[in-house]
Amino acid sequence: MLQSEGIEKASELLWESWQNGLAIDDLPPECSPGTRAEGYAIQALLEAQSRKPLFGWKIAATSKAGQDHIAVSGPMAGRLLAESVFDDGAVLDLAGNRMRVAEPEFAFRLGRDLPPRDVPWSVEDVLDAVATLHPSIEIPDSRFADFVIAGEAKLIADNACGHQFVMGAATGTDWRALDLAAHPVHAGIAGRYERDGIGANVLDDPRIALAWLVNEVNALGITAKAGEVVTTGTCMAPLEILSGDRVQADFGVLGTVGVDLSAE
């Protein structure tokens, strides 16, 4: 079992790597998490390094293919730090990013708190607490040089590969009347290729993914708070990106969101 000193050391190493765009081969044995709980304890200290209130939460590995790719047993929660969140049309630098993918995602902003309770929150309960729905793009990354073999506990400690997040405007469409599982999303890299996705690629439904996230953080004793955003995982195979690319995701009646990746 990791002691507090090991948790602090692991978090410091991961934070320094993140801020400097560097990769580490592994964490030292004395601060390497062996369980999901230890991974989340390390991740929590990354939030403490932020200068601003927590912006929200993300989910990694919401598809079987994604889970198999990084050898994890299921989804993982990560934190969206405010310093790493950008508006639609942002220009971001890919320098130091090893994953080099963009992921179109459904994002929900909560309108009221969802605290831990004895009975897990149902999908319907969580949806009742949602204020707005936003099209978004996540640009993940890992602080591990070979994130594919890092393992579940270390990837959770590594903020579930959280890095940069671009959020579009709240949709004006009555999204509650739509079947988000069947909702199509079209995205592409301008001048290079296009790709299609669907809401069902996210734990069968982005609404199910949203409820999963709330209950996951509740199990850690954390309240999902009003104003926080939950982005629910990529709804298509991640888009391979290069410096100089323009990424655009079209969520149909729900809106669009884009990001430019500056040349290195």
Q: How far apart are CA 136 and CA 107, in angstroms?
A: 6
Residue 85 pairs in a beta bridge with 165
| Average pLDDT per block of 10 residues along the chain, 264 residues long | 95 96 95 97 96 96 83 93 98 94 98 98 98 98 94 96 98 98 97 98 97 98 98 97 97 98 80
Class of domain 53-262: alpha beta
Give the model's pLDDT for residue 63: 80
Domain boundaries of the chain, sorted by first residue? 53-262
| Span between the terminal Cα atoms of the chain, in Å | 42
Q: What is the pLDDT, as a whole number, of residue 1?
A: 85
Which pTM does this prediction carry? 0.96
Q: pLDDT value at position 264?
A: 61
Per-residue pLDDT at 136: 98
- Which amino acid makes up residue 37? A
